[in-house]
Amino acid sequence: MAIALELKARGHSPVMATAEVYREKLDAAGIEFHPIRPDMPSYQEEEALIKLSAELIDPHTGTEKVLKLFTENPREVYDDLNEATKGADLLLTHPLPLVGPIVAQKRGLPWVSSILSPISLFSAYDPPVPPQMPSLVHLVRLHPMLGRLFYRLASYKLESVMKPIFDLRKDLGLPRGEQPLLAGQHSPTRVLALFSPVMAGHQPDWPINTLTTGFPFYDRRDYFSETESPAGLLEFLDSGPPPIIFTLGSAAFWVAEDFYRDSIKAAQELGQRALLLIGHARNLPKEPLPAGMAAFEYAPFGEVFPRASIVVHQGGVGTTGQGLRSGRPTLIVPHAHDQFDNADRVAKLGCGRTIARPRYNARNAATELSEILKNPGYQTRAAEVGKQVQLENGAVVAADAIEQVLQQGAIRT
């Protein structure tokens, strides 16, 4: 959305092709919307959404289930995206809708691809933390040769999952092409790595045309004059010392379970104020909140994170970027997907600590938070990194790169 809004401000007419569930948000932002499958449960279909979220945020099987959403009926996704690109000047793709490169190739469209987090670049020189077996990274990082072996094994395992994509290419008269989730997702024209260079430096085996843009922050504070903060939020922040902020981002809150109750207990044990961003009223503890604590379903991260003592979050790349920009130390509680890798990179930066979701309880959370509170190095390093990230404007850099492709023409896929 940040890139679309930046392009719109420059006089372009961006169209976002995504699931129907996002229509209301895009309409509110004034961005033209085109629905594409697979269909997702709406926010009103809570039970279906909770069930699906639990399946997709499973650390062992969630990634494969996400991929299957886009490979079970790839012709439907292709048809929807092909319709959305009628009259388009350029296609910007996300890694997941695996048919994007096919649409670009069939239409002869200039194509720019994007990467949201470093894990999607699959570097043997900077191997990511796999969510299925996080400890495996210690072996794979011993030598790039082991990293390359790991990716060959991953490519072999993905072969059956990606068969519907290969079949679609064949049906459309296209060659088999590269493995869709690995090399096949990258445009030969331009690859936009939509994260900060503090997260990952350019590696020898990245696509040579990769541009690391910095995070393209989308936060209501960033794009609208009003903060849209919930009533009472600023009063709470102003009423005492900086609180520990606990959030599970934009998806993991559906499977919060005891996360917020354990967080309250951990903050109490440490004598800290706490701000709980619970995502949905169902996560509000039934017991009255202790003194010095407040809960809201939503607050703009760009508004509240800089006012925290520590930010505790799930490690999604958007929330991770907001945490780094805030200059506040973080405790990351990864659930699945890229979250383990993002958490590891933040920990290596010295900006915080990490604890996997199954180990997160009141006692362990208090222990990890205590380590951050008593060690000023976390505060210092987070502030240093925050200053670097605050200087970045990923949406502007990405829009500049897209306009350059439009002006110069693209390498046909």
Task: Give the pLDDT score at 141.
Answer: 78
The full set of domains in the chain, from first to last, is: 2-214+392-408 (3.40.50.2000), 227-390 (3.40.50.2000)
Task: Give the pLDDT score at 221.
Answer: 55
Instruction: In whole angstroms, give the CA distance from residue 135 to residue 375.
Output: 26
Instruction: In whole angstroms, give the CA distance from residue 355 to residue 338.
Output: 14
Task: Give the pLDDT score at 412.
Answer: 46
**How big is the chain, counted in residues?**
413
Per-run averaged pLDDT (10 residues), the chain, 413 residues: 96 95 90 91 76 82 85 93 96 93 95 95 88 74 80 81 94 93 92 97 95 91 56 92 94 88 97 95 89 93 95 96 97 94 96 95 98 97 98 97 87 47
Instruction: In whole angstroms, give the CA distance from residue 369 to residue 321.
Output: 20
